Amino acid sequence: MDMQTSSLLDRLFSAGLLIDTGVDGLYGRSGAFEDVITRFERLIDRFGGDDNPEAIRFPPGMNRAHFEGSGYMKSFPQLAGTIHSFCGCELDHVNLLQCMTDGEDWTTEQKATDIVLTPAACYPLYPTIAKRGALPAGGGLFDLQSYCFRHEPSKDPARMQLFRMREYVRMGKPADVMAFREDWMQRGTKLMEQVGLPVEIDVANDPFFGRAGKMYKNNQRSQNLKFELLIPINSVASPTACMSFNYHQDHFGKTWDLKTEDDETAHTACVGFGLERIALALFHHHGLDSGEWPETVRQALWG
């Protein structure tokens, strides 16, 4: 597995699709790689655009207060990334430069700013929508895309530290929210079929931290709260999650006091596309030169 994954990364570097920065999971992308992502996003629009979602684009950093309120640190402290900056006086600056010159750790005096790196595209959305007041009749539907950060350095090109998630998020009554998720499991399968990718859908869990995390994982699985659409990238035996279908029940509704038009706590669900993973799946299955991909696939993306 290790040999296989490092060789896929090497092949992507050699082909110039990904560009090495010296840090595992932090890569530059070529024009050809980006073109595939752009075209795939247009295909997503064709499947989801008719529902008239409200499009919002947040930058890849979010309000630290919103991050703290979301409870992310309870569940995934190992993945979070915070933005720290130098906030000292001139003397502190002199000390900092001396530290750097001496090869010592100059980062210890960096102070937390009001921004943390976005861990999933939908996290900034819930407090933003709750601030507007109760949801309109029928609930809400949103279209998001953001670079996300997760501290999980790896030689597996499918596990990056900075990657993009495209998401649709539904808020409203439980039945509507669950129907949305069900619908997207079918759409996701059809969408991947159009670009010639083999898929399976399976129940899944998030990487909750620590011993208490085990209980959350089991609970998430037994209640079918998370499904993933899997496509082989590095290995056929353990295909990679390229889409997730998450039902949060009233978790974010309660956390942010998000209400339906009837003043009930809103339920939420999100459907996420891992854009880099999907691009990698396309390159893995159809070859590293997108100009040479099967005509049907080219038609679906560029047609």
Q: In what order do the strands lie in the sheet with 111-117?
A: 61-63, 111-117, 82-85
* Residue entry with tokens 């953001």: 146
Which one of ligand ATP, Zn ion, none interacts with residue 122, CB within 5 to 8 A by kind?
Answer: Zn ion
Whether 172 contacts 260, CB under 8 Å: yes
Phi, then psi, of 10 in degrees rounded to 5? -60, -40
Taking alpha carbons only, the member of 155, 188, 149 closest to residue 48 is 188
- Select 145 or 244, whichever has its Cβ closest to ligand ATP: 244
3-state class of 257 per DSSP? coil
Taking CB under 6 A as the rule, does residue 159 contact ligand ATP? yes
Chosen from ligand ATP, Zn ion, none, partner binding at 244 (C-beta under 5 to 8 Å by type) = ligand ATP
- Please state the closest distance from residue 142 (CB atom) to ligand ATP, in A: 15
Q: Which is nearer to ligand ATP, 127 or 157 (CB)?
A: 157
Residue 301, SS3?
A: helix
Residue of 36, 62, 135, 165 interacting with ligand ATP (CB under 6 A): 165
Q: Does 225 bind Zn ion (CB under 5 A)?
A: no
User: Binding string to ligand ATP for residues 232 to 261, with x set by CB under 6 A, is what?
Assistant: ---------xxxx-----------------
Residue with tokens 């869990």: 205
Give min distance, CB of 79 to ligand ATP, in A. Answer: 8
For 47-75, the DSSP string reads HHGGG-PEEE---SEEEHHHHHHHTHHHH
Contact residues toward ligand ATP (CB under 6 A) are 120, 150, 152, 159-160, 163, 165, 206-207, 228, 241-244, 272, 274, 276-277
